[in-house]
Amino acid sequence: MRGRLLTVVLVVPALVVAGCGGLGSDTSDALVTMGFGLPDEHATARVAVFREANPGVDLRITEGAFDEQQFLSAVAAGDPPDLVYAERRKLGGYAARGAVQSLDACVREHGVDLGRFRDAALRQVTYQGGVYGLPEFSSVRLMIINNPVVRAAGLDPAALSTSDWAGMGALTDRLKEVGDGRVERIGFDPKVPEFLPLWAKANGAELIGPGARLDDPRVVEAVRHTTDLVARQGGWASFKAFRDTFDQFGANNQYVTGQLAAMPMDSWYLNTLATNSPDADVTIVPFTDRDGRVLTESGGQAWAIPKGARHPELACRFLVTMTDTPTWVTAATARRDALAKAGRPYGGTFTGNREADERIFGEVFDPRGNPILAKGVPVVLSLQDKAFALPPSPAASELVRAWEGAVNRVLVGQQSPEEAMAQAQREAERALKRVGGR
């Protein structure tokens, strides 16, 4: 989840927890959960379900953001938290490095049907046939197009496509507003370096996996294509400075003000638009590859139990409860009701649990006639089971840093796409050699 990340400490009553030590220290009776926050009913209602089912557990929350290096150091020192909540793409890497435990026995003991989890989400936390995490939220990536801006340029928003790479430069030129190096409208934001896996996949290339290379000509072409789109719009410094002025989470966001024509975006942003600018005139369509096929990337979080956790049985019970279908429905209902009291629509809760989503969107979903939700939610639901996800790698975090750093060097004009991705490949090889995997 976005926002502040907190550390959750569950303590058996009558046991005192000291205020110092490592992530899993203090007493052998404290259950420590790292990286989880309580920003809304999605979290608080599910924690309440666990507490009601486990009245002998006292829940205490203290702030503490998830820190990868701190976590890995704690595991290496034999003093980890009992649960960790992090991005799925990271958890797959932790599994490959032996930093988190297999959940195979846990899911068997609790009768968890892994078939209810979405394939892409489950693949991210599966390593060498074993499951190392249970998926939580699930987002996909799609296109959000500003209709008035595109129509003013004499174009049909529904016809705007990411398939025609050769024509995207001219399209961007037609939609942008840049004068004397000053950006007044972004015509197309390719969202790099963050979305490079999507663009590379659209060009037929993988960034992680057997045979994957960051200097693959298809990856280099994706980097050149996307960074060129930015260069055409004033260059990275001006482009980013202008984009940073967006009121992205407010009523005067870039779609309302006309500061942006189109971009790929994570699906969670639809709820932000629906809440803050329900009358924004947008078209919501899938991202497509160069052959015109629908393409999207899955993202989200998962729960895992670190190696050396003191209370794996209780940790198992906690993560099974948090990702169970009835728990999600309870949380979705609580979220809907809270939003209704504020006069706001409920755009649904997208999870890695297909069964939970079916119930949420069949029983709880309450868009209240919001046009953005009416248009966007069916698109998101149609994409969930079509998504790909980056596979686990022992060096997942290092690989992401390598390719994102490479794209940034191209954006600022420090290197050509070929030079940058060649350097990224060398960095990737060193990282993989250090951890002994692919």
Q: Are 360 and 388 in contact (CB under 8 A)?
A: no
- The pLDDT tens digits of the residues spanning 410-421 come to 999 999 999 999
Alpha carbon distance 179, 392 (integer Å)? 44
CB contact at 8 A, 212 and 424 = no
Whole-angstrom distance, CA of residue 237 vs CA of residue 239: 6
Q: Which two tokens stand for residue 43?
A: 């979290």
pLDDT mean over 267-290: 97
For the four alpha carbons of 304, 99, 435 and 1, in that order, the dihedral sign comes to positive
Give the per-residue pLDDT at 64.
61
Mean pLDDT score across all residues of the chain: 91
The CATH number of 6-138+300-330, from 3.30.750.24, 3.10.150.10, 3.40.190.10, 3.20.20.140, is 3.40.190.10
Task: Classify 274 in phi/psi space as left (phi over 0), alpha (psi -120 to 50) or beta.
Answer: alpha
Q: Which two tokens stand for residue 366?
A: 């309450």
**How far is it, in rounded angstroms, from Cα 359 to Cα 142?**
23
Q: What is the pLDDT of residue 63?
A: 54
Count other Cβ atoms within 10 Å, centred on residue 273. Answer: 24
Average pLDDT over residues 145-167: 97
In angstroms, rounded to a whole number, what is the distance separating the alpha carbons of residues 267 and 141? 6
List the one residue out of 8, 103, 4, 3 whose CA is nearest residue 51.
8
> Taking the domains of the chain in order of start, what are their residue ranges?
6-138+300-330, 141-297+394-435
pTM of the model: 0.91
> Per CATH, the architecture of 141-297+394-435 is what?
3-Layer(aba) Sandwich (3.40)
State the pLDDT at residue 252: 97
Q: CATH topology of 6-138+300-330 equal to that of 141-297+394-435? A: yes
pLDDT band with cut points at 50, 70 and 90 for residue 56:
confident
The token pair at 237 is 């410094």
Instruction: Give the sign of the dihedral formed by CA 127, CA 125, CA 424, CA 218.
Output: positive
Report the distance separating Cα 111 and Cα 104, nearest Å: 11
Residue 343's region, left for phi above 0, alpha for psi from -120 to 50, else beta, is: left
d(CA 202, CA 388): 11
Residue type, 74: A
